[in-house]
Amino acid sequence: MIMTQAVREFFLSEDIANFTIKNDDSSLTAKPLWVPVERHGNFHLALALGLGQTAIGPLMQFYRDMSMSCEFGSKIDEKNAEGFSFQAFFEPEDAQARILLLEAPMSRDNKESNFTLDLSVLRNRCGHLGLRCFSPSSRLDLESKLAVIKWVAGPDDRISVLSARRHLSRRIKTTLKSFDAAYDHAMYAYRKADERREGASSLTRISPGPRTKSEETITTEFLLNLPSAKVMEGEDVYRYAHRVLCSLIPTQPNFPKRIRSVHEREGRPVRILSLCSGAAGIERRMIADAGCPVEITLFDLNENLMQKAAAALSSVAQTSGVLGDINVLSAEQFGNLTFDVAMFVSGLHHVVEIERVLQTVTELLVPNGEFWIIGEAIGRNGNQLWPEALDAANQIFSLLPERFRRNAYTRKVDSTVPETDFSANSFEGIRSEEIEPLLLRYFDPVQIWRRNCFLWRLVNPVYFHNYDLNSEDDRYVVLSLVAAEYNLWKKGGRPTESHSIYRRR
């Protein structure tokens, strides 16, 4: 099995020869037959798959969070197939050369079906998806057909775009024809009148010149020459790597400055609510840097932590506390108090009842009050990496010497970055993927600053102690990780960490 030849996504289309059709006797069929079929008043192009035939997709590498979306049409003629099955085929040396994913009859009413199938059972394997047309009855009519309108497979968040890519050439022709017809409509007669008055316009064709890059990718050597690349006293590898990364993404919100601006505008102490406050170390530094009167209310389930936080904050702010479960947060718990700022510091990704919490925050904020999320995990559920980030992380991780890949917990050398789902037995990242969409339902964004596609996973406690920043060689390796992280982020990689400001509507 050649893993490098495998793809991660697939869609059925007349434009792409990325599938084959085989008969039950293993013989290949002729050119695929595409036919128009009607469904719900619309005509679609469908692959006509005959009885006893199997359409086999390309070699795919399967990961977690992948699925397959399929749609079958209504009658091609009066002799529709009665059932279909989906299978996964693997190399002969695989212990399980074939897995039956689904076998189902067609609807007896209209011969239509539309569904999505989870492919997690194939995780970390490489093989082909197959769609077979069969008849579960004893009646075998060789003229029966299965109308396959849609068959796509890939990462869950790519299913929509893969579906839209089907039959591109046909869609282009239809769109052009539609626009031509629309332009000729009487409603647009004024345009032709304008053209007659102005005369036919002449277009000068622009000859394509040499392509130029708007910005070169960051290299490790480039980072070595930055002032930020110098190691600060007492700095560990996690803080060092992220400080250098922050120097490349310089638009982080200035939270202390925003606290001061509220005080200057209102002429009174700034009222802050810290939710899931924990030890409130970040809050203390922020308030100290603001250098103005602050009244902070802490909310946490852990009374001991809240007491420690209150003691640490006593020198910089007037402090009060409310003990409670964040998932049942209510405005009544705070009496008549309202706040200029409410914040989570790495806490919102532990919350199950996010909708309830965000709604309550809107009730607790003053008009135009702000909601801050600081160091918040906004990536995949379970604090996992997005697929493209995992690929990039593994690409550079695999090049590291073994001593940098030694896992502190297993004591073994990892060949790839562990795909740990931290929400399996805890609330870590329990609904991380929903945080940002839900924030936009309740608040308006003021400033969104996001980073960290994968860097944190390579310098976190799993590999933290493998690095010695006093070593120039080790520092070079860390900077190579930072460069790879920044380059992925620059190209549109999805961050997993947010330091952002939202405003009550």
- Given 170, 205, 239, the domain boundary residue is 170
Q: In CATH, what number is assigned to the domain containing residue 122?
A: 2.60.120.260
Query: Which of 217, 236, 312 shows the shortest CA–CA distance to 274?
Result: 312
In 238-302, beta strands by DSSP E: 270-275, 294-300
State the pLDDT at residue 212.
Answer: 42
Q: Is residue 44 part of a domain?
A: yes
CA 337-341-344 angle, 5° bins: 105
Q: With contact defined as beta carbons under 8 Å apart, do 459 and 235 qualify? A: no
Beta bridge partners of 150: 71
Q: In CATH, what number is assigned to the domain containing residue 234?
A: 3.40.50.150
Look at 211-225, 326-340, 374-388, 401-415 and tell me which has the smallest mean pLDDT.
211-225
Q: Is residue 74 part of a domain?
A: yes
Please give the structure tokens belonging to residue 84. Answer: 């279909």
Q: Is residue 11 part of a domain?
A: yes
> Do both 432 and 303 map to the same domain?
yes
Query: Which of 77, 72, 99 shows the shortest CA–CA distance to 88?
Result: 99
Q: Is residue 425 part of a domain?
A: yes
Give the percent of the chain with pLDDT over 70.
Answer: 85
Q: Is residue 450 part of a domain?
A: yes
Give the percent of the chain with pLDDT over 90.
Answer: 61
State the pLDDT at residue 298.
Answer: 97
- Given 136, 153, 170, the domain boundary residue is 170
> Do both 132 and 236 map to the same domain?
no
pLDDT digits (tens, 9 = 90+) for 83-122: 678 788 776 544 457 788 888 776 555 455 788 899 988 9
* Distance in angstroms (rounded) separating the CA atoms of residues 16 and 376: 42
pLDDT digits (tens, 9 = 90+) for 9-60: 999 999 999 999 988 877 777 688 898 888 766 788 999 988 888 999 999 9
- Given 137, 170, 203, the domain boundary residue is 170
Q: With contact defined as beta carbons under 8 Å apart, do 364 and 343 qualify? A: no
**Is residue 134 very low, low, confident or very high in pLDDT (cuts 50, 70, 90)?**
confident
Q: Give Cα 492 to chain centroid, integer Å.
A: 11
What total number of domains does the chain contain? Answer: 2
pLDDT digits (tens, 9 = 90+) for 451-492: 999 999 999 999 999 999 999 999 999 999 999 999 999 999
- Domain ranges, residue 329: 220-504
> Do both 320 and 452 map to the same domain?
yes
State the pLDDT at residue 473.
Answer: 96
Q: Is residue 187 part of a domain?
A: no
> Do both 149 and 284 map to the same domain?
no
**Residue where the block lists tokens 């997993």:** 496
State the pLDDT at residue 63.
Answer: 87
> Do both 432 and 363 map to the same domain?
yes
* Distance in angstroms (rounded) separating the CA atoms of residues 131 and 212: 45
Q: With contact defined as beta carbons under 8 Å apart, do 494 and 386 qualify? A: yes
Q: Give, as one character, the DSSP assignment of residue 16.
A: -
pLDDT averaged over every residue in the chain: 86
> Do both 303 and 401 map to the same domain?
yes
> Do both 135 and 269 map to the same domain?
no
State the pLDDT at residue 52.
Answer: 84
Look at 57-66, 356-365, 431-440, 458-467 and tell me which has the smallest mean pLDDT.
57-66
Highest mean pLDDT among 55-64, 189-198, 405-414: 405-414
> Do both 301 and 387 map to the same domain?
yes
Quickly count helices (H) and strands (E) in the chain: 13, 18
State the pLDDT at residue 38.
Answer: 80
Q: With contact defined as beta carbons under 8 Å apart, do 432 and 354 qualify? A: no
For 103, other C-beta atoms within 10 Å of its C-beta total: 13
Q: To the nearest 10°, the Cα dihedral for 310, 313, 318, 321?
A: -30
Considering the entire predicted model, what is its pTM?
A: 0.76
State the pLDDT at residue 109.
Answer: 52
Longest dimension (CA), the chain: 86
330-348 average pLDDT score: 96
> Do both 272 and 349 map to the same domain?
yes
315-322 average pLDDT score: 96
Q: With contact defined as beta carbons under 8 Å apart, do 126 and 62 qualify? A: yes
Q: Is residue 211 part of a domain?
A: no
> Do both 291 and 399 map to the same domain?
yes
More confident residue, 103 or 156: 156
Q: With contact defined as beta carbons under 8 Å apart, do 496 and 373 qualify? A: no
Question: Hey, is 292 helix, strand or coil?
Answer: coil
pLDDT at 162 > cutoff 70: yes
Q: Is residue 408 part of a domain?
A: yes
> Do both 321 and 457 map to the same domain?
yes
> Do both 23 and 122 map to the same domain?
yes
pLDDT digits (tens, 9 = 90+) for 253-303: 999 999 999 999 999 999 999 999 999 999 999 999 999 999 999 999 999
